[in-house]
Amino acid sequence: MCVAGAVNLLLQRHPINSALSLIVVMAALAGEYLLLGAEFVAAVQVIVYAGAIMVLFVFVIMLLNAGVEERSAGSRVSWLLGIPGMLTGSLLVAWVLLRHAGTETVKIGEQFGPPRAIGQLLFHEFLLPFEVTSILILIAVLGAVALATKPEKPVEGGSR
Amino acid sequence: MIPLSYYLLLSGFLFACGVAGFLIKRNIITIFMSIELMLNGVNLSFVAFAARWHALSGHVFVFFVMLVAAAEAAVGLAIIIAVYRTRETLDVDRMNLLKL
């Protein structure tokens, strides 16, 4: 389901369809996190990604009235070199992963990663990165507001 | 008991889809969504490794990655709105103001 959503994101031409398939990918990933026992991360994934970020994306798509994108044909060299190169690269990576990491297994449904322990870790060992991230978020909010507001007219009663 | 390599394969596939979308898409919003897809792929491998070695730090890293992704999405979408206001397009092929 996750794979289908990701492929659909590439194939769709309209951005709103891509956004919806990205939501599918994120929901499927949240399910994966739950299976891996990371309930806190799954909750944050649903709230932050599927909630906030995707609402932002859909809002901007609606706001800018984004239409169907036109496709440009790539050059012949990119077709000739890119597809075999991509296939060999991905097959090589898959082969190495399946061959050399086959013994490591992950238990499914094992409860691990309770929010309390994550909170303890976050506010003791990772306190400085946490605070720095809060400042980063503040700067991001200010920057977003400063960028997205309409620029005011520089000259009063001038060129209009 | 699922092999760890399956999670890594799915994570790598998501990352590859993100890279492919970043390269072949023409709409700047879709390019932005491809970046989010790449971040999600990395997050999946973080959580898989954390579950394998019972290291809670992986979850904290995923948390930070999500925060940075949220900040980046906010700023990036604001930039997209500003660009659309001045250039009236979302096509990256037509954003060639810096070209000679």
**Residues of chain A above pLDDT 70, percent:** 67
Indicate whether B29 belongs to any domain: yes
Question: Which CATH number characterizes residue B34's domain?
Answer: 1.10.287.3510
Chain A nearest-CA residue for B17:
A6
Mean pLDDT of B9-17: 82
pLDDT for B79 beyond 50: yes
| B63:A41 CB<8 A | yes
Q: Name, in order, each residue with C-beta under 8 angstroms of B52's C-beta and a sequence gap of 6 or more.
A: A104, A106, B4
Which residues span the domain enclosing B52? 4-94
Closest CB to B40: pick one of A29, A90, A117: A29
| DSSP state letters, chain B | -EEHHHHHHHHHHHHHHHHHHHHH--BHHHHHHHHHHHHHHHHHHHHHHHHHHT-THHHHHHHHHHHHHHHHHHHHHHHHHHHHHHH---BGGG--TT--
The answer to whether domain A1-67 has CATH 1.20.120.1200 is yes
Instruction: Quickly state the pLDDT bin for A10 (edges 50, 70, 90).
Output: low
Across chain A, what does the average pLDDT equal?
A: 75
Residue-range domain boundaries for chain A: 1-67, 114-148
Residue A158: per-residue pLDDT: 44
> What is the number of domains present in chain B?
1
Residue B78: per-residue pLDDT: 87
| B90:A10 CB<8 A | no
Predicted model pTM: 0.78
Highest-pLDDT range among A9-18, A93-102, B2-11: B2-11
| DSSP state letters, A77-139 | HHHHHHHHHHHHHHHHHHHHHHHHSTT-EE-TT-----HHHHHHHHHHTTHHHHHHHHHHHHH
Instruction: Quickly state the pLDDT bin for A160 (edges 50, 70, 90).
Output: very low
pLDDT for A102 beyond 60: no
